[in-house]
Amino acid sequence: MTAPLTPPTPPHNQSSNDVWQAPPPAGMPGGVYEQDGPGMKTELRDAAVITVAMALVGALFGLLWWWLAPHVPLVGDVVEKNWVVYLKDSEGEQAAGVDGTFALLGLAFGLVSAMVVFLLRRGGGVPVVVALGLGALLGSVVAWRLGVWLGPTSDVLAHAKAAGKGVTFSAPLKLGAKGALLAWPLGALLVHLGLTALFGPRDPELPAP
205 within some domain: no
Q: Which of 161, 154, 172 is nearest to 83 (CA)?
A: 161
Give the residue numbers spanning the domain of 78. Answer: 38-198
Distance CA 22, CA 207 (A): 28
Q: Which residues pair with 85 in a beta bridge?
A: 76
Tell me the pTM.
Answer: 0.75
Q: Check residue 147 and give its pLDDT.
A: 96
87 within some domain: yes
Q: Check residue 6 and give its pLDDT.
A: 53
Distance CA 30, CA 58 (A): 46
Q: Check residue 89 and give its pLDDT.
A: 78
5 within some domain: no
26 within some domain: no
Q: Which of 171, 181, 182, 169 is nearest to 148 (CA)?
A: 171
Q: Check residue 138 and give its pLDDT.
A: 97
Q: Count the domains in the chain.
A: 1
160 within some domain: yes
Q: Check residue 180 and give its pLDDT.
A: 95
Instruction: Please give the average pLDDT of every successive group of 10 residues along the chain, which has 209 residues.
Output: 51 47 48 49 88 95 96 83 78 85 97 94 83 96 96 84 82 92 96 88 58
3-state secondary structure of 195: helix
Distance CA 179, CA 58 (A): 16
Q: Check residue 32 and give its pLDDT.
A: 41
Which residues fall within 8 angstroms of residue 151, CB to CB, at 6 or more apart? Answer: 66, 170, 172, 173, 174
Q: Check residue 203 and give its pLDDT.
A: 54
14 within some domain: no
7 within some domain: no
175 within some domain: yes
Q: Check residue 83 and give its pLDDT.
A: 80
